[in-house]
Structure 1
Amino acid sequence: MSVSPLSFAAAPDAPTMVAHGFSTRLGGVSPGVFHANNMHDKKGDSKENVTENRRRFLTALGLDPGGLFIVEQVHGIDILDVDELVPGQTVELEYDGLVTTRPGFTLGVTTADCLPVLLAARNGRAVAALHAGWRGLAAGILTRGIEAVCSRASCDPGDLWAAVGPGISSCCFEIGQEVVETFLANGFPDPFFHASASGRPHGDLPGMAAWNLTRDGVVQVHQLGGCTFCESGKYYSFRRDGWPNGLLLSVIGIRGARQESTR
């Protein structure tokens, strides 16, 4: 089994009781088009490879691989509270966000151009992982996530920490005018869109995510940067390569021993 050096990113100033990370395609055991650190086994890679990739990544972050929650993402705005669930129970459920107050529970979202957004209360009482494609972002997935964390942590949006992970950047995010109109109709400002040399609109997805978080009162917002489309050696991209292809994993959890629900 050939293993490349593990590579991942993290945002600064996270609450001390919170662990998090954003994977890259470097540092795993997957072969071929999945090379090398694919984090999802529904696209053609073996379950054994993906399990090992996840184990290496989560262990490096100090998170329990056995406590990982992942859902079937559908580009919506629904968020699942996993406090009364067990890992593995959610993999077929259709949501685009996860929230928990339980130590030892690891929340994960998979991406290959869409944005992963992680939220944590500064008091360490609640965390969330959100999958923000353009549809979910325009429809309010980040606002829903802020509300979910604040309600469980008994805090205000200004008491949150947020990290926007790597996704497709404005240089490569070519869209139709109908996408622009959808964002504008939902209150996103016009400066986040520009015309390319071909005349087609481009949108700044990471910029809009950061703007959304700030508008809703989050003060501490970190953008990791990186374009999944441009940087083929570091990231998977559906727009660039289509399927089959690998997926990145972004995770967050409250440090501590896992105590699952008895339900």
Structure 2
Amino acid sequence: MRYGFSTRAHGTTSDTVGQGDPVAARRALVAEIGHPDVPVALMRQVHGRTVATVGEDAGAGSAPDRRPEADGLVTTSPATALGVFVADCVPVLLSAGDAIGAVHAGRGGVALDVVGEAIEVLLADGHASADQVAAVIGPAIGPCCYEVPADMAADVVEATGLPNARARTSWGTPSLDLPGAVGDQLLARGVTRINRAGGCTRCEADTWFSHRATTMDATTFPAGRQIGVIVREDA
């Protein structure tokens, strides 16, 4: 597979958040990873657990309201790239056998184990086993900065069964470690080939879009979304 993550330098890649030319920004990233003519299938992300399988006619250029309502996409088409928008949530890119996947894992998605659901679909569609899965966890807000109420952190631990999902910020308040929780959920599905790309979006808000950073200082950190894209090498 080939994959990449856009940055603030590309401009926002979202059609609904931020100012700029999102189509050009998406095309620039796809060109950078070596497949300028491959369309990117996108989804309407809703912090749920639905994973949609898409084909060659996924309609990369279609209007947002025609995209599947899902938080994961899987395809076996070599002529289709997959994209996931984030600005603090965890983007997860997957590959196994003939299939690739893209997953949006925010607090809700982690609680619902959307990554686990995506692995099941990926393996079924790609006719592969868990030891063939390669996963990339992209830039996301880290436990150092993702401050939440203590009861919210407890709820996520209860929902996931992952005590290490609960953490502390760098200033000592309750937080959640979403990238770490996603890593644990991948391991629970037998996935061991896990790489991390990018750091904490809030700490590095001059490089990545961060919803938390924008909420605190929209003048310094204008709103937007980066995109993670994955495509089969034989595209």
- TM-score, scaled to structure 2: 0.89
Structure 1 residue 85 corresponds to structure 2 residue 60: no
Unaligned runs of 5+ residues in structure 1 are 1-17, 29-36, 258-263
Matched with 2:135 is: 162
1:225 deviates by 4.1
Structure 1 residue 22 corresponds to structure 2 residue 10: no
Count of matched residue pairs: 227
Structure 1 residue 104 corresponds to structure 2 residue 82: no
Which among 223, 228, 234 is matched to residue 245 of structure 1?
223
Contact 2:140 2:201 in 1 (8 A): yes
SS at match of 1:222: strand
Amino acid at match of 1:22: F
Q: Deviations over 1:142-168 (max 9, x none)?
A: 000100110011111121000000100
1:203 deviates by 1.4
Question: Separation in 2 of the partners of 1:142 and 1:103?
Answer: 22
Question: Separation in 1 of the partners of 2:170 and 2:78?
Answer: 49
Matched with 1:143 is: 116
Matched with 1:131 is: 104
1:192 deviates by 3.2
Q: Deviations over 1:122-155 (max 9, x none)?
A: x3x0000000001101101000010011001111
Gap change, CA 1:53 and 1:156, over 3 Å in 2: same
1:197 deviates by 7.6
Question: Separation in 1 of the partners of 2:170 and 2:142?
Answer: 16
Unaligned runs of 5+ residues in structure 2 are none
Matched with 1:14 is: none
Q: Deviations over 1:60-90 (max 9, x none)?
A: 1112455111111111111111116332347
Identity value in percent: 33
Gap change, CA 1:44 and 1:114, over 3 Å in 2: closer
Amino acid at match of 1:40: S
186-195 or 153-162, which moves further after superposition? 186-195
Which among 29, 48, 53 is matched to residue 76 of structure 1?
48
Question: Separation in 2 of the partners of 1:171 and 1:197?
Answer: 5
Gap change, CA 1:80 and 1:191, over 3 Å in 2: closer
Structure 1 residue 115 corresponds to structure 2 residue 93: no
Question: Separation in 2 of the partners of 1:99 and 1:213?
Answer: 16
Matched with 1:218 is: 191
Contact 1:64 1:104 in 2 (8 A): no
SS at match of 2:47: coil
Amino acid at match of 1:228: T
Question: Separation in 1 of the partners of 2:207 and 2:169?
Answer: 25
Matched with 1:255 is: 233
1:224 deviates by 2.0
Gap change, CA 1:236 and 1:126, over 3 Å in 2: same
Gap change, CA 1:66 and 1:254, over 3 Å in 2: closer
Matched with 1:171 is: 144
161-170 or 181-190, which moves further after superposition? 181-190
Contact 1:63 1:104 in 2 (8 A): no
Contact 2:87 2:226 in 1 (8 A): yes
State the Cα RMSD in Å.
Answer: 2.0
Contact 2:133 2:191 in 1 (8 A): yes
Larger Rg: 1
- TM-score, scaled to structure 1: 0.80
Contact 2:164 2:181 in 1 (8 A): no
